[in-house]
C-alpha cells in the first residue's frame, strides 16, 4: 500500500498539512515499510486557519446565523417501521444495511388509490454500487489517488453515527446496521440510517383560477416527502446519501458532498507566482486543492409494475414546418417545432446513454401493461444536475477499472453476480469485471428484468470556499411515474386543515 505523510500535530484537519514529496510503500502482511522516496521538498502549510471545530473557530461566532427552527407534527409521525419494512402515505419499502453498499432500498411499491388501493411495484432493489474518485495530478505522490470507495472501504462500514437533530431533523427515527468485522466478530453500527418526513415548504401541485365557473380561487397541495438518509465519511469526504419518497410516486435519489479537500503542499503563496499547471486551485497559502471527479453510481433494479420491463428513449427532435398538411406541417407562420420519436432499446449497446448528447426522455416501461387509454405504464429518469462524465483516456489504468463513467446511463439484464460496477474486487480490477465488460455481451434488454445503472458525476474544481471544510453541494436523479397512474395521483389528496388555500375564494369573479 502506498502511503503519504501529513503533519497533524497542530491541527485536527489532518489533510491540511501534507509533507509533500514523500511517499512510502507499506507491506500490510509484514507491517513493514518496504519503499521510501523523498522526491522533493515543499513548504508545509501553516496550521493556523485549518481547524473547523466549533471551539477553535469561536467564540465569537461571527458567521451568518439563521434562527433555529422546529418540526411540529401535531398528529405525530406519518410512517410506521415494522422491523425494516417502512409504510408511509402511498409507499411501502424495505430498508436494509450492507457493509459495502450502505443503505439498500428494496421491494418499493406505491399504492394506486384509483386502482382500488392496488400496491404496485416500482423498485426491486436500489443501492450505491460504487463511488469512483480519481484525482487529476499525474505526479508521483498523486497519480494513484483514484479511489473506489465502496469496493475498497465499504460505504456501510464507514457510515457515520448520525448526529441527532443535526444530520437528521428532530422528527427522525434511527436504524442500526450490523456487519462482520475484519476479525469475523459482529459490529454494530449505531444510528447509521435515519428516516424522517420532510416539510420543506414546497408545493406538490397548485393552480390559481381567474375566470369562469369558480371565479378567482387557488388550490394548493403541500409537498411532504419521506427521506431515508445515511452519511458516509470516506476519509476526507462526507457523502450524505438520501432516498426521498414523494407522494406523487417519485423516488428522488440525492448525494450531497461535504468534508475536506485532499490538499497538496506547494511553495506558492499567491496565484501571481504560479507559471505551471499545479493540477488544482491555490485555496490558501502553500496549499493546492487538487482537481478531481466524483462518480457515484447507483444500481437501480426497477420493476415497473412487474418484473419484465423495456427501456424507451423518447428522442426529442427538432422539426421544420413544411407548411403542407400532407407532410405533417401546417400552413401557418410557424417555421419549426419539436416532436418525440419513440425508440425501444433492444440490446445493451442501445441502453448506454450520454444524457448530454441529445435531448430525450428516458423511460422504463412495462410493455405488457397499459393505461385505460393505451399508454405503456412507465417511470422516467430525471437527471438533476451533476451529469459529468469521465474525461480520462480509455487506456489510463483507473479509467479501465471505471470505464462505465464515460456514460451516465447503462441498462443491463438482471444478473445476480452483477452488483459492483467496478468489479467484485474493485481494488485489483483491471477492467475485465466491470459494468462495461459485462455489457459487451450486448444481451437483450427488451421485455426483460432490467437494471438501470446511473452515475451522478461532478468535476470538482476546488475554490477557496471549500477550505478548511467544504460547504455541501448536491447531485441527484429522480424516477417519476410517467403514464403509470391514470391521472395525477394527488388529485384527491385532502388540503391541509385550516388552510387558506383549500377551495376558498380569494376574491370575486373577474
Ligand atoms: Cu470533491
6 Cα to the center of ligand 1, angstroms = 19
97 and 245, same domain (yes or no): yes
Q: Are residues 116 and 237 in the same domain?
A: yes
Give the cell for residue 205. 401541485
Please report whether residue 469 resides in a domain. Answer: yes
Same domain, 40 and 177: no
What confidence score (pLDDT) does residue 33 get? 96
For range 209-216, the mean pLDDT? 88
Q: Which three cell numbers stand for residue 499?
A: 388552510
Q: Which helix (H) or strand (E) holds 439?
A: helix 435-439
| Cα 293 to ligand 1 centre (Å) | 6
134, 2: one domain:
no
90 and 229: one domain? yes
Separation of 133 CA from ligand 1 center, angstroms?
8
Look at residue 66 and tell me if it is in a domain.
Answer: no
Q: Which of these is catalytic: 98, 149, 293, 305?
A: 149
Q: Where are the alpha helices (DSSP H) in 8-152?
A: 54-57, 149-152
**How does pLDDT run across 347-406, given as a tens digit for each residue?**
999 999 999 999 999 999 999 999 999 999 999 999 998 999 999 999 999 999 999 999
Whether residue 95 sits in one domain with residue 5: no
pLDDT digits over 12-29, tens only? Answer: 999 999 999 999 999 999
Question: What spacing in Å lies between the alpha carbon of 400 and ligand 1's midpoint?
Answer: 21
Q: Please tell me the predicted confidence (pLDDT) of residue 498.
A: 63
Looking at the 3D structure of the chain, how many domains does it have?
A: 2
pLDDT digits (tens, 9 = 90+) for 213-260: 888 999 999 999 999 999 999 999 999 999 999 999 999 999 999 999
DSSP character string of 65-82: -PPP-----TT--SEEEE
Residue 62 included in any domain = no
List the one residue out of 352, 392, 457, 424 whose CA is nearest residue 432: 424
Asked about 135 being catalytic, the answer comes back as: no
Domain CATH for 8: 3.10.450.40
Same domain, 86 and 128: yes
Q: Which residues, 6+ apart, have CB-to-CB distance to 391 below 8 Å? A: 459
pLDDT one-digit tens code per residue, 315-361? 999 999 999 999 999 999 999 999 999 999 999 999 999 999 999 99
From the CA of 41, how far away is ligand 1's center (Å)? 26
Do residues 253 and 229 make contact, with C-beta atoms less than 8 angstroms apart?
no
User: What Rg, from alpha-carbon coordinates, does the chain have?
Assistant: 26
Query: Is 46 inside a domain boundary?
Result: yes
The strand pair at 280-284 and 292-302 is best described as unpaired
Query: Residues 121-137: pLDDT tens digits?
Result: 999 999 999 999 999 99
Domain housing 7: 1-53
Burial 387-417 (b: 16+ CB within 10 A, else e): bbbbebeeebebbbbbbbbbbbbbbbbeeee
pLDDT exceeds cutoff 80 at 155: yes
Q: Does 115 reside within a domain?
A: yes
Same domain, 43 and 179: no
The answer for 363, left when phi > 0, alpha when psi is -120 to 50, beta otherwise, is: beta
Residue 504 has pLDDT above 50, yes or no: no
Element (H, E) at 435: helix 435-439
Ligand 1 center–CA 131 separation, angstroms: 12
d(CA 278, CA 426): 29
Name the grid cell of 440.
459487451
Report, as an integer, the average pLDDT of 23-46.
96
pLDDT tens column, 264-305: 999 999 999 999 999 999 999 999 999 999 999 999 999 999
Same domain, 264 and 169: yes
Q: Residue range 157-165: average pLDDT?
A: 97
Do 290 and 401 lie in one domain? The reply is: yes
Whole-number pLDDT of residue 510: 35
pLDDT of residue 212 exceeding 90: no
346 CA to middle of ligand 1, Å?
36
For the cut 60, the answer to whether the pLDDT of residue 508 exceeds it is: no
Paired strand residues for 94? 85, 106
424 plus 301 within the same structural domain: yes
Which position among 237, 298, 404, 454 bears the catalytic label?
237
Which residues are 193's β-sheet partners?
A: 175
Residue 156: pLDDT band with limits 50, 70, 90: very high
- How far, in Å, CA of 424 to CA of 454, rounded? 18
φ/ψ of residue 357, rounded to 5: -80, -40
**Is residue 500 included in any domain, yes or no?**
no
447 is catalytic: no
> Of 104-108, 183-187, 473-477, 504-508, where does mean pLDDT reach its minimum?
504-508
452 assigned to some structural domain: yes
**Could you tell me the three cell numbers for 63?**
458567521
Question: pLDDT tens digits for 465-503?
Answer: 999 999 999 999 999 999 999 999 999 999 877 655 444
Q: How far is the C-alpha of 206 from the C-alpha of 322, rounded, in Å?
A: 38
Q: Is the pLDDT of residue 424 over 50?
A: yes
pLDDT at 500 (0 to 100): 54
Q: How far is the CA of 255 from the centre of ligand 1 (A)?
A: 12
Q: What is the pLDDT of residue 70?
A: 83
Average pLDDT over residues 42-53: 96
Asked if residue 489 is part of any domain, the answer here is no
Same domain as 257, residue 120: yes
**What CATH number corresponds to the domain at position 199?**
2.70.98.20
What integer best gives the mean pLDDT of the chain? 95
Contacts 24+ apart (CB under 8 A), 22-31: 22/141, 23/140, 23/141, 25/1, 26/1, 26/2, 28/1
Amino acid at each position: 500500500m502506498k502511503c503519504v505523510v501529513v503533519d497533524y500535530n497542530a491541527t485536527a484537519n489532518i489533510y491540511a498539512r501534507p509533507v509533500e514529496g514523500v511517499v512510502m510503500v507499506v507491506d500490510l502482511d509484514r507491517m513493514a515499510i518496504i519503499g521510501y522516496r523523498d522526491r522533493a521538498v515543499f513548504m508545509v502549510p501553516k496550521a493556523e486557519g485549518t481547524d473547523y471545530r466549533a471551539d477553535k473557530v469561536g467564540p465569537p461566532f461571527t458567521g451568518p446565523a439563521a434562527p433555529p427552527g422546529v418540526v411540529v407534527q401535531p398528529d405525530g409521525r406519518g410512517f410506521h417501521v415494522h422491523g425494516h419494512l417502512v409504510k408511509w402515505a402511498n409507499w411501502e419499502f424495505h430498508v436494509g444495511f450492507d457493509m459495502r453498499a450502505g443503505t439498500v432500498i428494496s421491494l418499493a411499491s406505491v399504492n394506486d388509490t384509483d386502482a382500488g388501493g392496488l400496491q404496485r411495484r416500482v423498485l426491486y432493489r436500489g443501492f450505491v454500487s460504487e463511488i469512483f474518485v480519481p484525482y487529476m495530478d499525474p505526479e508521483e505522490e498523486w497519480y494513484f489517488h483514484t479511489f473506489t470507495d465502496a469496493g475498497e472501504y465499504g460505504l456501510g462500514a464507514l457510515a457515520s453515527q448520525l448526529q441527532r437533530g443535526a444530520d437528521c431533523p428532530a422528527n427522525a427515527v434511527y436504524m442500526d446496521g450490523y456487519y462482520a468485522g475484519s476479525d469475523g466478530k459482529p459490529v454494530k453500527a449505531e444510528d447509521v440510517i435515519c428516516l424522517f418526513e420532510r416539510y420543506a415548504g414546497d408545493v406538490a401541485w397548485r393552480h390559481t383560477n381567474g375566470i369562469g365557473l369558480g371565479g378567482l380561487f387557488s388550490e394548493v397541495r403541500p409537498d411532504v416527502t419521506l427521506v431515508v438518509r445515511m452519511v458516509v465519511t470516506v476519509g476526507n469526504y462526507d457523502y450524505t446519501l438520501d432516498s426521498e419518497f414523494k407522494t406523487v410516486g417519485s423516488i428522488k435519489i440525492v448525494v450531497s458532498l461535504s468534508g475536506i479537500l485532499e490538499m497538496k503542499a506547494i511553495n506558492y503563496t499567491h496565484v501571481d507566482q504560479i507559471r505551471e499547471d499545479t493540477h488544482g486551485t491555490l485555496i490558501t497559502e502553500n496549499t493546492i486543492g487538487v482537481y478531481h471527479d466524483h462518480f457515484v453510481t447507483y444500481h437501480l433494479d426497477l420493476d415497473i409494475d412487474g418484473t419484465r420491463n423495456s427501456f424507451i428513449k423518447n428522442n426529442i427532435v427538432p422539426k421544420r414546418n413544411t407548411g403542407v398538411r400532407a407532410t405533417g406541417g401546417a400552413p401557418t407562420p410557424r417555421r419549426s417545432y419539436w416532436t418525440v420519436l419513440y425508440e425501444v432499446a433492444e440490446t445493451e449497446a442501445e441502453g448506454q446513454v450520454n444524457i448530454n448528447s441529445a435531448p430525450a426522455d428516458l423511460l422504463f416501461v412495462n410493455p405488457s401493461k397499459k393505461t385505460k387509454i393505451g399508454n405503456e405504464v412507465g417511470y422516467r429518469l430525471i437527471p438533476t444536475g451533476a451529469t459529468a462524465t469521465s474525461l480520462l483516456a480509455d487506456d489510463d489504468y483507473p479509467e479501465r477499472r471505471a470505464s462505465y463513467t464515460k456514460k451516465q446511463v447503462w441498462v443491463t439484464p438482471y444478473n445476480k453476480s452483477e452488483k459492483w460496477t467496478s468489479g467484485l474486487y474493485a481494488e485489483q480490477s483491471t477492467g475485465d469485471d466491470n459494468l462495461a465488460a459485462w455489457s459487451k455481451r450486448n444481451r437483450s434488454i427488451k421485455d426483460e428484468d432490467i437494471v438501470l445503472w446511473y452515475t451522478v458525476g461532478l468535476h470538482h474544481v476546488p475554490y477557496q470556499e471549500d477550505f478548511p471544510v467544504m460547504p455541501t453541494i448536491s447531485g441527484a436523479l429522480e424516477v417519476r411515474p410517467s403514464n403509470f397512474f391514470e391521472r395525477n395521483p394527488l388529485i384527491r389528496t385532502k388540503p391541509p386543515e385550516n388552510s387558506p388555500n383549500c377551495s376558498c375564494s380569494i376574491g370575486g369573479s373577474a
